Amino acid sequence: MRSAISRPARRRAAVWTIFAVAAALVLAVWLPAFGAARAAEDSRVVYTASIEGTIDAGMEGYVKRVVRQAQENGASLLVFEINTLGGRLDSAEQIGQSIRASQVPTVAYVRSTATSAGSYIALNAGKLIMQPGSSIGAAAVVTADGRPVTDAKVVSHWASQMRAAAELRGRDPRIAEAMVRSELELELPAIGKTVKSGEILSLSAEEALKVGYADGMAGSLSDVLKMEGFESAHQETVRLSLAERLASFLTNPVVMTLLFIVGIAGVAIELIVPGFGVPGVLGICGFGLYFFGQYAAGAAGYEHVLLFVLGIALLTAEMFVPSFGLLGVAGVASLGAGIVLAARDTAHALVSLGFGSAVAVGIVIIFAIAFRDRGIWNRFILRDRLSSEEGYVASEDRRHLQGMTGKALTPLRPSGTILIEGRQVDVVANGRFIGAGSTVKVIDTDGTRVVVEEVEPHPPGS
């Protein structure tokens, strides 16, 4: 019986079958390769961190941690979002060095502003991308209250740091120096701008791009990742930890001074006027917070805490062991060394410690005067009065025996013992021998001396 399917139809079916098998084989080979390529692309990790707010010791510890984690976890890119008006120059230098030394490629993304210390941090990154409308520059050195620093050494050092950061990435170092020094004059024909003497240079995102300081502009972090070819990579955001936030607060010079006042006053009051407990606890908490802040900022170590504890122990020993002041001097030196060496900035620590010590001494003096009856000096000074009003007498008062009569228990030659109202009393006879059993009368008392005389017996019937 012949098949109902014609020969041309069978040929077409065979062709389609071969085509389908070939397509399946191609897909079987291509899809796994495509999936592997996608998997390899998605396996890349981009670390992002935010440098926002004041640049200080806490931010320094945070950036160092981010760089370390990115390197340890094999990140492919490290992006720092920057929005800061600046802060401490020493912390900015440390942050810049950490970014510069990163083994992971780095990008600084200026979201709003990167002025002062923030501009230095941004220039140290491998690439600088800015958000439209953002700015960079105005890196003049100023004090905490905003006054320009006139110390030539400080200004020169910071200007050299800015120049070095610019040269590191192939940027014009004169522009970086003009961001610091107001006495420089600089022509910028690319943007039609002239920096005159007395001005500090600041560049907008568009200007920075034209003079070769910015490598591009992006409206968001996603755009930055797309520009760098990491739009499909896994993104790992590292945020400030609680310890780093506390370090930023506790390492503030004003807060440090307050901690010194509480610490010194509390410990000194507890040592000099013991028995309260609260001042001692507050003092320990004050110093504990100080060392915690410095440790979280990466400055303090266990050796500094040990120096401090040793100082407290020596000062305590000075109060009980006579050492002619040697233990006290050693204690103060050890305590001060532990505090100052633990600080990120020893100069600021010395100033804060000096001011805090002066205020704490005043508080301790007031407290010691108010509670002078409880001071430690009362352990070494006898303050009780040996007076009759306080209930103290040198010996028993025998004036009440005056005129009383008793019987001699022993012969009085001239001293002996008599019995008065059932009580034995040592007495002295007045000039002559008195035999035992005789009746006597107290005629005089002088301290412990009781003088008696014999009472002549009355004749019967008298």
The reported pLDDT for the residue numbered 39 is: 41
Taking each helix axis from N to C end, the angle separating 253-272 and 242-250, rounded to the nearest 10 degrees, works out to 80
**What local confidence, expressed as pLDDT, does residue 382 receive?**
47
Q: What is the pLDDT of residue 13?
A: 59
**The residue to which tokens 């004003």 are assigned:** 254
The predicted model scores a pTM of 0.63
**Bond before 148 cis per omega within 30 degrees:** no
Kindly state the helix (H) or strand (E) to which residue 7 belongs, with its residue range: helix 7-42
Question: Could you count the other beta carbons within 10 Å of the beta carbon of residue 461?
Answer: 4
Whole-number CA gyration radius for the chain: 46
pLDDT at 1: 41
Q: Each residue of 267-315: pLDDT tens digit?
A: 888 777 766 678 888 888 888 888 888 887 777 777 888 888 888 888 7
Q: Which two tokens stand for residue 283?
A: 């003092």
Distance, in Å, from the CA atom of 117 to the CA atom of 98, rounded to the nearest integer, reads 14
- What is the rounded CA–CA span in Å between residue 78 and residue 237? 10
**Would you state the pLDDT for residue 234?**
93
Q: What is the pLDDT of residue 105?
A: 95
Tell me the residue length of the chain: 462
Residue ranges for the chain with pLDDT beneath 70 = 1-42, 274-276, 323-324, 372-396, 457-462
| Structure confidence by residue, pLDDT tens digits, 15-62 | 555 556 556 555 554 555 444 444 444 589 999 999 998 898 889 889
pLDDT of amino acid 125: 94
Distance CA 357, CA 256 (A): 12
What pLDDT shows up at residue 430?
84
